[in-house]
A and B are shown apart, each in its own frame.
Chain A
Amino acid sequence: MTADLETRKNALRHFFEPIVDKLGYKFTPDEEMVEFLLEQEVKLEDRWGIPYCPCQALLRIRQEDMKIVCPCIPFHRKHFDALKRCWCGLYVHKDVTDPNSLKQIPLSELEGDKQ
């Protein structure tokens, strides 16, 4: 199981890397975070068949849930471009060297929603 987990984590990493590269993102330089989040995705994939984002809610509404399939950047582009990272921080803009300097700011706050 451990070997399977490592194999699948590596597979996801290699699958995602060229996709996020074209979107202007890279994996966060925080390797511990990458390992943790990919592990969560493998577990989510084992359970649901799809590597959903570990930091967003499955609503059991297919149209909504497909927006949080990793890498979910295209569906949340405006929000993530403002944060310079995706919500869970697995991916950061290519110019980011210090991911710890980035905050999790909800979309509602950026847009002056109900908060």
Chain B
Amino acid sequence: MPRVSMYTLSTCPWCRKTKQFFRDRQIPFDFVDYDLADTDEQDRIVADMRKHTSDISFPYVVIGDRVIQGYDPDKYEQILKEAGGK
């Protein structure tokens, strides 16, 4: 099972749907809500995201070494399948 981690916003319905997607499949994940983080943590998150994209948008999901921005269940499924995690 690949590691799943994500950056999310507590105010964003698509971030909630993303968390629910993984919960429904009983796939463990860790996450940080950007808007609830302190400023140092926010700066670290943005710097981390900028390593992969110029577009700072949420949800930002990392499955193994793959990055997916936005709520995209088809893509999550595909990557999990490729990783042999489902």
Contacts and interface: CB of A to CB of B under 8 A. Distances in A.
Interface in A3-33: 33
Given A36-B13, A40-B11, A104 B71 contact: yes
B69 to A, nearest CB: 4
Contacts of B12: 40, 54-55, 88
A108 B69 contact: yes
B72 interface: yes
B55 A56 contact: no
Interface range for A? 20 to 34
Nearest to A30: B13
Contacts of A44: 11
Contacts of B72: 103-105
A43 B52 CA distance: 31
A55 B9 contact: yes
A37 interface: yes
Given A57-B56, A59-B46, 10 more contacts: A54-B12, A55-B11, A55-B58, A57-B35, A60-B42, A87-B57, A104-B71, A105-B70, A108-B54, A115-B69
Interface of B: 9, 11-15, 34-35, 39, 42, 46, 52-58, 67, 69-72
Interface of A: 33, 36-37, 40, 43-44, 54-60, 87-89, 103-109, 113-115
